[in-house]
Homo-oligomer: A and B are copies of this chain.
Amino acid sequence: MAAEVDTALRFSLDLKSGVPYYKQVILQVEMAIVDGRLENGDQLPTVRSLAVALKINPNTVARAYNELEIRGIVNTQQGTGTFISNKKIELSEVEKERILAELTRPYLSNARAYGFSLEELIKHLQSMAG
C-alpha cells in the first residue's frame, strides 16, 4: 500500500502488486458497495479528486469508472459526477450461465485431476456453505 485517499472510502493503491491501477479502483468500488460504504445513489469521488489523491492520471480513474458503467454498477454524467447506479442490476440468464460455467469449469477439472468425485465435491460444498 502506498497512496491513500483521505475520505470515508479510504481508497488506496498497492503500487507493487502488479495489478493495474484502474483494476484496483474497480475492485475497491465493488468492495465499498459490498460492505455498505457506498449505496445506491451515492456519488463516487470525482475523477480529478481521486486522481490527485491516488497520485495517478485522471484518465486512469476515468477508465475504472467507465468499466464500472459498462458493468452497470455506476452512472456517469459529465459536469455532474459518477454515482452508484440506482437501478438493480439483473444479469440475463445467458450471462449468468456463462459466468457460472467459467467459474465451474476450472474448479471441476482441477478437482477431477485430483481424483475427487462429483459426490465428494457436492458434499464438501454443502459443508462449507452450510
Contacts and interface: CB of A to CB of B under 8 A. Distances in A.
Interface of A: 27, 29-31, 33-34, 40, 71-74, 84-88, 91, 96, 99-101, 103-116, 118, 120-122, 124-126, 128-129
Contacts of A111: 100, 103-104
A100 to B, nearest CB: 5
A124 B86 CA distance: 21
Contact of A103 (B31, B73, B114): B114
Nearest to A95: B114
Given A87-B113, A118-B125, A118-B129, 16 more contacts: A33-B108, A34-B113, A40-B113, A73-B110, A85-B114, A87-B114, A99-B114, A103-B110, A103-B114, A104-B124, A104-B125, A108-B125, A108-B128, A108-B129, A118-B126, A121-B125
A103 B107 CA distance: 7
Nearest to A29: B109
A32 to B, nearest CB: 9
B71 A30 contact: no
Nearest to A122: B122
A114 B100 CA distance: 9
